[in-house]
Structure 1
């Protein structure tokens, strides 16, 4: 039966402070004659009557309870004559039969009443049931389970005079043990059998709770993958050591971040608590944000993985992306190193071009197609045959990303994005800028005393000279590093998705953050 069926109509011992008086109550179990009018009689101290479920609300449960009472001519419709209590009682851990010392043995079939009463009189301290930490519902549940087990496992002893079917639990246990083990040493008394039933029920409840916790409370965290570099790179693009370098770079502010939607409330009432304790630690919040950038998972998926709500995932990612951008943006000027620092770490392959300050290339990201035809024309790229946005990327000869422009419309030319990106503010006289053929910006650089390294043009000729072909191969071999860096950026799937139009204004921040995260990886050029 269900646990809620613990409201069996039987007399149960409780403390005196829970005793209730009012309308007359009668016990409906078996041949018990307990009556609330005679509470002063011997054996009636602390007796409480538990009500039946109402027939018009729960007819099936009420009928099962009536049948479990095994009372002659007693059905669910007879319940109006019996107990009704409005308050759920607090019950002791031991169950007792209502004492009837003058009742004959034949009245209860083959049950030995003297033995039952003696077992009931045993103190709760020495009784095995008293050792079980169970509440009212579990105790009454066990009593009903006992009745069900009797009806299924043993033959019913019939009283011919009254037509009442009652069983002897002790004889049932003895017969069962004799049949299965062929020994009488395993026979149990009624109280021992009831204690085992209660203990079995308690253990099943604990198993159910543990299984529930194991399936629901387990959530994804950095602790699950930090010992495996392959998994860390898959989920974040960084090894655990690189992740910790990033964590230390972000500084102590990570411990005191106020989420975006709660920031205003926190500023208005800084002395008050900012709400309930957060489920994720700051490290796991950063880990969640990196997983979002690396794998491009939806907020619903992340909420399920990390065991939080979708709105919480949205707050975490928005807050941490803004925080990462602010921290990285402070180094935007320092990311573009001087020629002296570049010369100190110049790879051997660049010995012929020692004055190269930056290697430039542009990359595009797909966007949604706008309804406005003018905006659609500005975003459309004939090379990609799709609406795109464009970003200028610059790296040092050693392969570190040193420059990331804002996002521009996809139809912009390479020369135009070179002008608008304001990279000329970082170029000094005597610097060399290595570019592809599309960046024909020599005239702009010459105005500042700099020059470009660009593959030679064919022009009106049919073939390049041998020296020009050799120069083209050398430049292409060196320029390939910027394309490899761009490939690393696009491994973050947040950049490979189609960019919604309403997020174009913040997509520049996302690309810049991803570029800075790539700098935490192993260098491209050795």
Structure 2
């Protein structure tokens, strides 16, 4: 059955190739009445064969959602040009009448006193019709030329605007790339790498990334890439930024920052620290021994000292217990530095009052000594007996060889050199990774793993020393 649209004046019919849709009137009485009112045919009611074509809907089809504008047909415009009947051709008599009227108008203008040449609006005969162009026709022609010229100019202007927008978009992308904390942002900027990570250049950072990357697959569906996880952790150590600050910078939640830092620190502690913080062989030590120790201490294996990091937490103000409470708010570490200026040993931290002897015995420091090794220090650390039990010797720089604790008068300046050597290395690590200056957050002081007996901050100290060893800024004893 061939359906025809029921709208007055609409001649659309269901024929192959038209692409139109035809809809029957809805069954819902209220909606059906609204459709009848929209068709606006007085005294007319639809039957089962009545259809409405899709051209009377805004989107080209009916929609059954009452909130949609196409729930009821609303497009009832005049018929399109291709559907209108063509205008009947002008009768030849009318064409002749127009010619006579134009000539009469020309004659009247010439009689008004203006010269024929100036007053004559005639520019050309209309080809094949004999009609003359009047001023209005000429102005219309010029207007068409102007419109064409304006259209061409507009196209050229839009092309220029498009090019300008592309240049602006490219500049904005480059600006955002420079401001973002991404791999491409740091690749060619050594100063930015040094500022955010403490490492000397991107090559060292990339080497650390290659070492850690195979072990960073534990966090699935992570919002941060592996590089961003490493960068966030290094920024935490380097700049001691708060978790909320890092969450804003990387567009994640605070919990994500905490989990990322703990996860990457654990990986670096188990992977990077054994690679970068190690006890060198005796042959390697003697081969690279600084000239300052060649004559005075050729068997020097390590220079030891202790350093402390304050912790967060309230300190009791009581006069009698104030000093003891302050001492309990400090983490103490035993550090071993090779004469070449690299850290070769870091103990776990001990909170509060401690004994260097117990710390050396409990941290595994004594197990690394060989018979004949010399352990050098700038002050008495009460570990000489424990060192001697391993067949090694503990010396205080500048003190007599009889073992007395008093330094000899006129002793060589290596005492100050040794003390400055250790202090320089510790200070270098702290300046490079300001998180080690404290105060340490309480969350980092709890033991993270029972197997290693190390707290998260113990791992952070070891990781900072390992990263410092990777830098081309060791402080050899001179």
Asked if Structure 1 and Structure 2 have the same fold, meaning a TM-score greater than 0.5 normalized by the shorter chain, the answer is yes
Mapping of residues 13-412 of structure 1, within 5 Å: 16=21, 21=26, 22=28, 23=31, 24-25=33-34, 45-48=54-57, 86=66, 88=68, 98-100=76-78, 117-118=80-81, 219-238=180-199, 239-250=201-212, 252-254=214-216, 257-259=217-219, 276=221, 278-328=222-272, 330=274, 335-352=278-295, 353-369=297-313, 380-381=326-327, 387-412=329-354
Q: What SS does the corresponding residue of 1:494 show, helix, strand or coil?
A: helix
Give 1:285 shift: 1.7
Aligned match of 1:508 = 458
Tell me how far apart the structure 2 counterparts of residues 19 and 186 of structure 1 sit (CA, whole Å): 50
Aligned match of 1:475 = 415
Give 1:340 shift: 1.4
Tell me how far apart the structure 2 counterparts of residues 282 and 453 of structure 1 sit (CA, whole Å): 46
1:415 and 1:438 in contact (8 A); partners too: no
In structure 2, which of residues 404, 426, 448 is the aligned counterpart of residue 486 of structure 1? 426
Give 1:389 shift: 0.9
Q: TM-score of the superposition, structure 1-length normalised? A: 0.56
When the two structures are aligned, how many residues end up with a matched partner?
358
Q: What SS does the corresponding residue of 2:334 show, helix, strand or coil?
A: strand
Unaligned runs of 5+ in 1: 1-13, 51-82, 102-116, 122-177, 260-273
1:443 is aligned to 2:403: no
Give 1:287 shift: 1.8
Cα RMSD after superposing both structures: 4.8
Change (3 A) 1:408 1:45: closer
Aligned match of 2:4 = none
Tell me how far apart the structure 1 counterparts of residues 311 and 294 of structure 2 sit (CA, whole Å): 40
Q: TM-score of the superposition, structure 2-length normalised? A: 0.61
Change (3 A) 1:312 1:502: closer
Tell me how far apart the structure 2 counterparts of residues 187 and 436 of structure 1 sit (CA, whole Å): 93
Q: What SS does the corresponding residue of 1:391 show, helix, strand or coil?
A: strand
Change (3 A) 1:465 1:485: closer
Q: What SS does the corresponding residue of 1:434 show, helix, strand or coil?
A: strand
Give 1:297 shift: 1.7
2:290 and 2:339 in contact (8 A); partners too: yes
Larger radius of gyration: 2
CA-to-aligned-CA distance 1:295-350 (integer Å, 9 cap, x gap): 12222222222233333222222211111112145459x70122212112222232
Change (3 A) 1:457 1:396: closer
Q: What SS does the corresponding residue of 1:289 show, helix, strand or coil?
A: helix
Unaligned runs of 5+ in 2: 1-18, 85-138, 401-405, 448-454
Aligned match of 2:474 = 524
Q: What SS does the corresponding residue of 2:304 show, helix, strand or coil?
A: strand
2:430 and 2:437 in contact (8 A); partners too: yes
